[in-house]
Structure 1
Amino acid sequence: MMLAMFQALRPRQWSKNLLIFAGILFSRQIGDLALVARAIEGFFAFSLVASASYIWNDLRDIEADRLHPKKRRRAIASGRLPIGVARIEAPLVALAGALLAIRLGKGFLIVLAVYFLQNLVYTSFLKRQVLLDVFAISIGFVLRAIAGVELLLPVAPGTELSPWLLVCTFFGALFLALSKRRRELGDAGGQASRQREVLESYTPALLDGLLMVSAAASVMGYALYTIWPATVAKFGTEALLYTVPFVAYGIFRYLYLVGVSDRTEDPSHVLISDRPLAICVLGYLAAVLIILYGRG
């Protein structure tokens, strides 16, 4: 049962919370081990609270998950984790995350609380509302980015929250959420609405159009960020412009996978399992580190 309890946390989904490290990376403070330690604590606090919301979601969707070819293998849907145990596990995990968050300051705790409440609203209502479902997912990523800055402010008050970070995060997350819906719609076929109610309101043409818009906004938003006067002044270089091809390739590669692979129902799994995309991400991170930290 311990294994089932751990699997119910969906630890593979914790990779989404790596976005918390964007604040320390782009504020050029990643060499400060004390701040890195705070970011790591924030990562685990967010991951635990997110896992609590995943358990709550799985409890509410247990019947629909049992109809899904992959989700039916989840700990709760498969019956490996009793419902009563899951109902106890969720609040305990959330409490553990909250206790970690208290150490990181009021701002971080507030953002985490908003994230948790938003997830509860999403699970109870928004996930069945066309368009609002993907917007809610995107806002969740924006909150992660904000939290990554908030946890630094108590000990590094000069850390600034770039509005461009929020813009790029929002459209990038929106692109991933729409990709997930497009793949779900294609895979489910005639059972789409039984597996996820909101899919009844989407069509392939609508999702394809929205994917193009969000992909273009993601690439253009990031490109503008790299050459924005405030960005150039902050980093003392325009060299971030040379990281745009990594972002563009990553977006295009993911679009390709939406059409040919069923793995895009789970963006976290794609990042790990698709070698070209993983190499692209590592290349991007290496380029950013060299540009921001290699100038001495």
Structure 2
Amino acid sequence: IGNTSSDFILLGLLGHSRAQQFLFGMVLTIAFTALVGNALMILLIQWDLRLHTPMYFLISQLSLMDAMLVSTTVPKMAADYLTGNKSISPAGCGFQIFFLLTLGGGECFLLSAMSYDRYVAICHPLRYHVLMSHKLCSQLVAGSWLLGGIDGLMQASATLSFPYCHSREIDHFFCEAPSLMRLVCADTTVFEFFMYICCILMLLIPLSLIVASYSLILAAVLRMHSAAARKKAFTTCSSHLAVVGLFYGTLMVIYMRPKSYHSVGHSKVVSVFYTVFTPVLNPLIYSMRNTDVKGAFRNWLGKTHAIKLNHI
């Protein structure tokens, strides 16, 4: 199928190298695992009444964002690889940039809301249901989606408003704003400065809130007399910090590096981490080390098995 002159061409993850087939299979497997894992987390949290708490509501929203993040990039990459048609329309490119930034930005703020939730649970356990009310929880989630959406809309519309050169080949497996900037036939200094400031606000403000929350949590944990309570608090918080470290680290490498340090190959590998690997790790981190989730999963399996036996 031919592409129109206005379409972009996605060169893929490793171009035409021999490793492409192996890497494609690996990424597709991980992406499928991420979709199944996050969908299962959402269903378990909805199904088990014991998981109807602010913490698990926030985790279900994180799973929803992660499932959507994988769905934004991997299906298109898979279709390009299988059909050989690597073209993507400017509208399709705009939608990818919008959803990536909306979900990425939204997840940054959501992770800061989750850190506040853990701070309240550990430092103010008796006032937890007052300080983390259902209304506040809903507002934090809505705010995360809204701020991410505003950032996505601004950057997607601004990126596509530039004139592009004759070569419209994007050396990436999806449309990412920094990759498109390399094809622009105009001065992008002002926009790149604006994008850099935007990224600082979207990344560093939530990250500073996370650092502040966990500093207070650490101080409270060290004051605990019970070794069991300390162990439980450290286990919960280390899970959250693992997610935060991986997600923020990769986003900062992509969106906050000076232009002179941008390497195409390096950027693509780092992009795989925040679009594919992080979404598969989140449900594993929050389920493998969480007794409530494991208990809910066992109950669900037991009830499913009982229903099957009744129908035999």
Would the TM-score normalized by the shorter structure come out above 0.5?
Answer: no
Question: Which gives a bigger RCO, structure 1 or 2 (Cα 8 Å, sep 6+)?
Answer: 2
Determine which structure has more spread, i.e. the larger CA radius of gyration.
2
